[in-house]
Amino acid sequence: MNCPVDGKLVRDEIPRIIQESGADPHWHVAGPQEYRRRLRHKLSEEVREVLGADESSAPDELADVMEVVHALAGDLGVGPEELEAIRKSKAAARGGFAGRVVWMGNR
């Protein structure tokens, strides 16, 4: 597993998994500011993976996006239930995206 020179935010169990494969991972626990910065970068990375995924792998990639979104929300002090309540409130007030509505501007 290769990583950038300055490291890469990975799932919590990755160092253990790497060790079990016989390698010796070098890692550290990010401080609060580094963690938030790396989470935002990770979200961008995961979204790119969704955009490049085919239909069979897209659900797995979307689950990765959700994991990062939940971590970001948690870092902001927002739990999964509160995040879902915010999503539901916005959907009730403004709708969702299931209707496939494309706005073309105003006349």
**pLDDT one-digit tens code per residue, 56-102:** 999 999 999 999 999 999 999 999 999 999 999 999 999 999 999 99
Is residue 42 classed exposed, middle or buried when 0-12, 13-18 and 19+ CB atoms within 10 A define those classes? buried
Q: Which amino acid is at 73?
A: A
The pLDDT of residue 62 is 98
Percent of the chain whose pLDDT exceeds 90: 94
Q: What is the pTM of this model?
A: 0.87
Residue with tokens 């890469």: 8
| Contact by Cβ (8 Å): 36, 77 | no
Residue 61 has a pLDDT of 98
Domain boundaries, the chain: 14-94
Task: State yes or no: pLDDT of 50 exceeds 70.
Answer: yes
Determine phi and psi for 75, rounding to 5 degrees. Answer: -65, -25
Dist. CA 65–CA 21, nearest whole Å: 26
